[in-house]
Amino acid sequence: MLEFNHRKTDAVRPRMRDRGIYLLPNLFTTGALFAGFYAIVQAMNGRFEHAAMAIFIAMILDGLDGRVARMTHTQSAFGAEYDSLSDMVSFGVAPALVIYEFALQDMGKLGWIAAFVYCAGAALRLARFNTQLEAVTDKRFFQGLPSPSAAALIAGFVWAMVEYGVAGETVSWLAAALALFGGLTMVSNFRYYSGKEINLRKSVPFFVILLVVLAFVLISTSPPEVLFGGFVLYGLSGYVDAVIRMARGKKAAR
């Protein structure tokens, strides 16, 4: 009986620790949530460049909160749920509203349907990710386009159009296609490189630091075009990977 009670107590302890709330990682999550909300407000006021930049800031903060939690051993069930809800606002609702306000309003039903497909795709992507987190064996790849990358695709497009003075209504069909592409690709089974095996606490060769510096220089020369182009390539990489694996499968079958 005592042994049973001891085991029961041990089983409860991890769940109690899971309920802990740690300040440091949740500060980053809150910052990402604020940036997503700020993007919505700016889009409603017609300041689309600010809205796009806010989504990119949310993406950076979202990438930091998980790494900070792992490096400081402050992971918790609360943090995971909070992060998921923040992602839905910053990478689901905000990009859908930004692209709708910028280019899809004049398309009527087709416009808000395209925006909703993106928003629903983000919600389904996050729900699938949360439920399959423990079942994923290969951490090197995501299943489907990650929601932050889909949001960056939308934000990069809007930012680039604003940068070149292109009115949203003139590219409404392209914007709708991009929203549909992002929404549907998020719930696809295509593989996308995750970069999770990169260990920031390990030493790296000098050329890696050089590449990082060059990347910052390249982005700083023209942020909208470079970021949009980069995430377009990343979005297409899953399709390219699927074609390559299919071709290898056919060749192996012969």
Q: Do 95 and 150 meet the contact criterion of CB atoms below 8 Å apart?
A: yes
Q: Do 35 and 55 meet the contact criterion of CB atoms below 8 Å apart?
A: yes
pLDDT exceeds cutoff 80 at 133: no
- Residues 4-8 have a mean pLDDT of 43
Tokens 């795709």 found at: 121
How far apart are alpha carbons 36 and 30 in whole angstroms? 10
pLDDT exceeds cutoff 50 at 11: no
Rg (the chain; Cα; Å): 20
pLDDT tens digits along 201-214: 677 677 777 888 88
Least confidently predicted of 51-60, 147-156, 208-217, 230-239: 208-217
Q: Given pLDDT bands bounded at 50, 70 and 90, which one contains residue 165? A: very high
Return the DSSP state at 141: E
- Residues 21-49 have a mean pLDDT of 93
pTM given for the model: 0.85
78's tokens:
């609360």
- Residues 161-183 have a mean pLDDT of 95
Domains and CATH numbers, the chain: 2-253 (1.20.120.1760)
Tokens 């001891």 found at: 6
pLDDT exceeds cutoff 90 at 248: no
pLDDT at 136: 61
3-class DSSP state of 143: strand
Q: Do 56 and 71 meet the contact criterion of CB atoms below 8 Å apart?
A: no
pLDDT at 24: 81
Q: Do 169 and 106 meet the contact criterion of CB atoms below 8 Å apart?
A: yes
pLDDT exceeds cutoff 50 at 169: yes
pLDDT exceeds cutoff 80 at 78: yes
pLDDT tens digits along 90-130: 999 999 999 999 999 999 999 999 999 999 999 999 999 88
Q: Given pLDDT bands bounded at 50, 70 and 90, which one contains residue 4? A: very low
